[in-house]
Amino acid sequence: MCPDIEMGNLYSLRGLVLTIMIVLTFCLGLTSILAHLGDVAQAITSEERDELKEEARDMFYHAYRAYMENAYPADELMPLSCSGRWRGTEPSRGDIDDTLGNFSLTLIDTLDTLVVLGDLEEFEHAVKLVLKDVSFDNDVIVSVFETNIRVLGGLLSGHILAEYLQQRAGILRWYRGELLQVARDLGYRLLPAFNTTTGIPHARINLRYGLKTPKLESSRETCTACAGTMILEMAALSRLTGEPIFEEKAHRAMDELWKMRHRSSDLMGTVLNIHSGDWVRRDSGVGAGIDSYYEYCLKAYILLGDERYLGRFNKHYSAVMKYISQGPMLLDVHMHRPHTNSRNFMDALLAFWPGLQVLKGDIKPAVETHEMLYQVMQRHNFIPEAFTTDFQVHWGQHPLRPEFLESTYFLYRATNDPYYLEVGRSVLRSLQKYARVPCGYAAVKDVRTGMHEDRMDSFVLAETFKYLFLLFADPADLVLDLDEFLFTTEAHLLPLSLARNSNTQLLRRDVPELN
């Protein structure tokens, strides 16, 4: 997906970026950047790369075994308590608990990581556990977005890889598509969320009762990313089952969101009313609340072959680079006044953006923004949840997010520049030094103090350790040919062959594109 790049030009580009950062050092006092210059010369040998790959593997198993031995079948591991987190038994943490549904979230989210690591025996065991223990017939309200990307995506990827390994490795001979049936059951439980005036889905759903609960009947608002990050998983479910309704619903939601863009700036806001289609918050950026909507515009084109999504992405991308991209930084603006910043800090979720730029083939700004983020990481050991334009902490939490590693991995794949292996080594060392505890890995409550939080989100196993392992792994040694797959926003693997399993004739997608 990326143009060929002359390595000399790339190294010159990085040198330019580092020169800019040195100037910033004198202006802003970013002394950690100068310390970084000495690290660049520490090239990683092939032997050390292999050692780092094995250390990344060990990190995954330290966390995975802690979950399986102390938390399963609970949704998540609490690494400080060394016990499982169940919905409704632990004190409420607010909206973050909507990720949990008492459906063994971490195991489902981790299925394809086991395959990426080549542990086919444990993958088969995990599939059997999911089929034996998981039920979605629970009276619990969950996030539609999180359940879609983590659980539905994990089940679909698990099914696809089970069939892949059945055909190519001769294992799981007993498997007859059972995970797909579990995914289909979940898909139908999510469908009532789309019953709105606009077709844009509710933010939450009750897995047993749909919208027929007092808490949900009056719900009105959702975020752009929440509504716009359904198309890959829903389309995959339709194309694998032959039932077009899932893809139809997700396409309609994307069409409605496209209508809501600001017509002069082509930017999107972050929070909207699902019934009226009016914006509630008009802040526009590429981080929290909007990030994966842009990601799925491009990836819907790649996975499904629907060119209207490429057109939409290109319009949005041009707007982001015109208004939001300010040098290596990405600062929120008002969608209706795009020359006016709406805040003076950035959030950690925007770290996915350089990886998406790689997928588009726009390498230069990807290198620049990634380098800026690396300086933030070096200053604070991790990228805090929010940081100011002079790299001070705005919100110090770090839940071991994967986005920076994701971009590091894709930049390395695109450029083959060993610098990104060095970046990965720095991330690995921070995780080992500041997050590893006897029972897994603990989120950092505040990067300024290093205090831990009793939390290990499922994405640590689904994404963080997956990208860390892949960064150091030789693609030739993997049991999968990753060039045959697309990574979802949760790093689940969907096959590019789905474009051939098109339900286009059933979906009536022949209407002209909206202006």
Annotated binding site: 489
Which residue in the list 146, 256, 283, 422 is annotated as catalytic?
A: 146
Which residue in the list 109, 233, 248, 291 is annotated as catalytic?
A: 291
Cα distances from 409 to residues 173, 446, 515, in angstroms, run 33, 26, 36
> What type of residue sits at position 270?
T
Residues 30, 34, 35, 39: is their CA dihedral positive or negative? positive
Residues of the binding site for Ca(2+): 489
Spatial CA neighbour of 251 closest among 515, 75, 506? 506
Q: Is residue 65 classed as helix, strand or coil in its secondary structure? A: helix
Q: Residue 385 corresponds to which tokens in the numbers above?
A: 């949840």
For residues 139 and 137, give the distance between their C-alpha atoms in angstroms, rounded to a whole number. 7
483 is catalytic: no
The H-assigned helical ranges of 143-243 are 144-146, 153-168, 178-190, 214-217, 224-227, 231-241
Cα distances from 258 to residues 253, 262, 322, in angstroms, run 9, 9, 19
453 is catalytic: no
Which residue in the list 112, 368, 371, 385 is annotated as catalytic?
A: 385
403 is catalytic: yes
Environment class of residue 115 by beta-carbon count within 10 Å: exposed (0-12), middle (13-18) or buried (19+)? buried
Q: Residue 102 corresponds to which tokens in the numbers above?
A: 């008492």
Cα distances from 24 to residues 52, 205, 365, 404, 501, in angstroms, run 32, 47, 18, 21, 51
Which residue in the list 109, 233, 295, 403 is annotated as catalytic?
A: 403
For residues 108 and 479, give the distance between their C-alpha atoms in angstroms, rounded to a whole number. 20
Residues acting as catalytic residues: 146, 291, 385, 403
